[in-house]
Amino acid sequence: MRVAPKEIQSFRDDFTYTNSASAIERFPFPFPEDEYRYSVNIEAHQPKGGEGSAFEHYIDVDEHYLSEMAERELVLKDMPNRCLVMPHMDLACWEMLERYMVSLAEDYPEHFKLTRDGDNWHWENKLLNIDDHFTFGDGATLPRPPLDYIGRQVQGDFALMDQREGNLFMDAGMVTCPADWSLAFDAGMSFDEWHGPVPMVKSEGIIERARKYLMALPVGQPVRRLNWTLTVNARMDTSTEKYNEWGHERTTITPENVSEKVYLRVEVQVLDRMPRSNAVTISIRTYLLSLEDLVTNKAWAVRMHRALKTLPEALIDYKGLTRFHGMAVDYLSQFDPAN
Amino acid sequence: MQAEHVNGATSKPVYTPVELNPKSSFHLFIAEQDVPVDLQSLYNGCTADKAVAAYACASDSQLLESLQNFPLTGTLYLAGTEPFLWRVTSHARDAGLCSDQVRLLAPISRERHLFCCHCHTITEEVTYSPYACSGCGAMLEVTDHFSRLHGAYFSFQANAEDSADMPEKREVN
Give the type of residue at A140. Answer: A
Instruction: Nearest by CB to B1, from A187, A243, A248: name it.
Output: A243
Indicate whether B68 pLDDT > 50. yes
The number of CA neighbours under 13 Å toward the Cβ of B78 is 28
Contact B69, B26 (CB under 8 A): no
Q: Are residues B75 and B128 in the same domain?
A: no
**Whole-angstrom Cα distance, residue B146 to residue B10?**
9
Indicate whether A213 pLDDT > 60. yes
Query: B2 pLDDT band (50/70/90 cuts)?
Result: very low
Point out the domain boundary residue: B57, B84, B104.
Answer: B104
* Average pLDDT estimate for B99-111: 92
Provide the pLDDT for residue A32: 82
Q: What is the pLDDT of residues B19-62, one digit of tens each?
A: 999 999 999 999 998 899 999 999 999 999 999 999 999 999 99
Q: Do A197 and B143 touch (CB under 8 A)?
A: yes
**Cis bond upstream, residue B130 (ω within 30):** yes
Residues of B in contact with A81 (CB under 8 A): 120
Pairing verdict, β B152-157 and B112-116: parallel
Q: Are residues B134 and B79 in the same domain?
A: no
Q: Tell me the C-alpha to C-alpha distance, in Å, between residue A62 and each of A22, A51, A59, B145.
A: 10, 12, 10, 36
Query: Domain containing B36: what range?
Result: 2-104
Angle made by CA atoms A60, A111, A62, in degrees to the nearest 5: 30
Query: B3 pLDDT band (50/70/90 cuts)?
Result: very low
Split into its structural domains, chain B has a count of 2
* B86–chain A Cβ distance below 8 A for any pair: no
Q: Tell me the C-alpha to C-alpha distance, in Å, between residue A84 and each of A31, A183, A214.
A: 33, 8, 22
Active-site residue, selected from the candidate residues A211, A225, A235, A265? A225
Point out the domain boundary residue: B47, B71, B104.
Answer: B104
Query: Taking a contact as any Cβ pair under 8 Å apart, which residues of chain B between 126 and 165 contact chain A?
Result: 138, 143-150, 154, 156-157, 160-163
Provide the pLDDT for residue A93: 98
Instruction: Nearest by CB to A185, from B99, B154, B160: name it.
Output: B154
Q: Are residues B72 and B14 in the same domain?
A: yes
**3-state SS class at B154:** strand
**Is A225 among the catalytic positions?**
yes
Closest-CA residue of A relative to B115 is A185
- Domain ranges in chain A are 21-333
* Average pLDDT estimate for B78-90: 94
Task: Calculate the CA dihedral of residues A20, A25, A30, A32 and round it to 10 degrees.
Answer: 160
User: What percentage of chain B exceeds 90 in pLDDT?
Assistant: 84
Q: Are residues B78 and B127 in the same domain?
A: no
CA A27 to chain centre: 13
Q: Are residues B118 and B35 in the same domain?
A: no
CATH code where residue B67 lies: 3.40.50
Q: Do A189 and B11 touch (CB under 8 A)?
A: yes
Provide the pLDDT for residue B4: 40
Query: B9 pLDDT band (50/70/90 cuts)?
Result: low
Indicate whether A331 pLDDT > 90. yes
Q: Are residues B118 and B161 in the same domain?
A: yes
- Mean pLDDT across chain A, nearest whole number? 94
**Strand order, beta sheet including A120-125:** A112-117, A120-125, A130-135
Query: A207 pLDDT band (50/70/90 cuts)?
Result: confident
Closest-CA residue of A relative to B155 is A240
Provide the pLDDT for residue B8: 59
Provide the pLDDT for residue A208: 86
Mutate to test the interface with B, among A169, A185, A238, A239 (most CBs of B within 10 A): A185
Better-scored residue on pLDDT, A146 or A339: A146
**Whole-angstrom Cα distance, residue A231 to residue A266?**
10
Q: Tell me the C-alpha to C-alpha distance, in Å, between residue A334 and each of A29, A329, A338.
A: 20, 9, 9
Instruction: Nearest by CB to B161, from A181, A185, A247: name it.
Output: A247
Residues of B in contact with A247 (CB under 8 A): 157, 160-161
Which ranges constitute the DSSP H helices of chain A? 21-25, 65-78, 90-107, 146-151, 183-186, 191-194, 201-204, 206-215, 243-246, 258-261, 291-294, 298-309, 313-318, 325-333
**Whole-angstrom Cα distance, residue B149 to residue A274?**
25
Closest of A317, A322, A247, A181 to residue B2, by C-alpha: A317
Q: Do A193 and B150 touch (CB under 8 A)?
A: no
Residues of A in contact with B155 (CB under 8 A): none
Closest of A310, A306, A311 to residue A332, by C-alpha: A306
Provide the pLDDT for residue A289: 98
* Residue positions counted in chain A: 339
CA A73 to chain centre: 16
Residues of A in contact with B148 (CB under 8 A): 188-189, 193
Closest-CA residue of A relative to B158 is A244
Q: Are residues B56 and B80 in the same domain?
A: yes
Query: B106 pLDDT band (50/70/90 cuts)?
Result: very high
Instruction: Nearest by CB to B145, from A197, A202, A323: name it.
Output: A197
Q: Are residues B8 and B54 in the same domain?
A: yes
**3-state SS class at A273:** strand
Indicate whether B1 pLDDT > 90. no
Provide the pLDDT for residue B7: 53
Q: Which of A125-129, A156-160, A314-318 has the lowest mean pLDDT?
A: A314-318
